């Protein structure tokens, strides 16, 4: 949120070094809202997808510093898939950290992120692992991250 507020401030030529959220509250008289900030910075679904990539895709430096990579929790879920204890994951996350962790243990999960993907999906009992992304995937412009 702080980074998105900083981007909004930059569009207005304002400097918010220190406390972007306080600047936003003073400027707009309300708490910053994720969807509102996103609309202010990137008005189209394609622009939002491009913006979100920078938050989810690790650079080489990010990888070296352990940023934007699967966490211990993601790796544990991947192990549960590998052992056969869990076959279906439901997530509201837009990122691909769970998919990455599951791929890393040698499983290619079926990923369903839109209603049309679900219609064409292999039945759950016939796949080793399925991930249902309830809010969509950041790479898809139909992501559910604004009221529209």
Q: 37-80, pLDDT tens digit by residue? A: 998 899 888 998 899 998 999 999 999 999 999 999 999 999 99
Q: Rounded distance, CA 9 to CA 144, Å?
A: 25
Sequence spans of domains, the chain? 2-64, 72-133
Q: What is the pTM of this model?
A: 0.83
Q: Rounded distance, CA 43 to CA 112, Å?
A: 25
Buried b (16+ CB within 10 A) or exposed e, 42-64: beeeeebbeebeeeeeeeeeeee
Question: For residue 66, how many other CB atoms are within 10 A of its CB?
Answer: 10
Q: 78-127, pLDDT tens digit by residue? A: 999 999 999 999 999 989 999 999 999 999 999 999 989 989 999 988 99
């Amino acid at each position: 949120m702080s980074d998105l507020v900083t981007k909004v401030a930059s569009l207005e030529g304002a400097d918010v070094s220190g406390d972007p959220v306080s600047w936003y509250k003073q400027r707009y008289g309300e708490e910053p809202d994720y969807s509102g900030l996103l609309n202010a910075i990137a008005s189209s679904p394609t622009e939002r997808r491009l913006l979100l990539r920078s938050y989810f895709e690790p650079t080489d430096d990010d990888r070296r510093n352990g940023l934007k990579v699967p966490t211990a929790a993601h790796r544990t879920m991947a192990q549960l898939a590998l052992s056969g204890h869990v076959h279906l994951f439901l997530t509201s996350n837009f990122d691909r950290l769970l998919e990455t962790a599951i791929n890393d243990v040698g499983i290619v999960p079926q990923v369903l992120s839109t209603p049309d993907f679900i219609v064409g999906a292999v039945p759950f009992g016939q796949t080793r692992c399925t991930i249902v992304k309830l809010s969509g995937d950041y790479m898809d412009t139909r992501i559910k991250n604004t009221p529209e």
